Structure 1
């Protein structure tokens, strides 16, 4: 039987997992900013490392998408916790 305590414990686990995902996404955003700095620092676009860095930037997308994903994850888990609390109040 599912109890209020079990629901709350699972909710805490989900929040911890969400926080971990958010931290990973923040690290990805930071890495993308470092890549962008590297591209700007390179002396010429023909330089081999510049081309590799440009390809990485294209593959990893950009930091704006990281911020949108992070914001959406927070919204999702906040909505989910609100629903869980409403269900447990009945």
Structure 2
């Protein structure tokens, strides 16, 4: 086959081959986007269910009974740790 006919045949089939590649690329992109959309909808659904299970408003301070049931020490008979000024004053009194 002469070079002229081969070149002409390639030029004629180029548009068809190019369109097939473009169509295949579009189908692959469509499948990827559909999968991402499904995953996003699953996450949105999960977060909506999680939000529905949470209380609408959290208390500003936890009740003492909650702290005691969690194993925290009770506040009876315990003192707050000394402040820095009280600690300095105590050290100064001992050193003099």
- TM-score w.r.t. the length of structure 2 is 0.40
Larger radius of gyration: 2
TM-score (norm 1): 0.42
* Bigger relative contact order, structure 1 or 2 (CA pairs below 8 A, ≥6 apart): 1
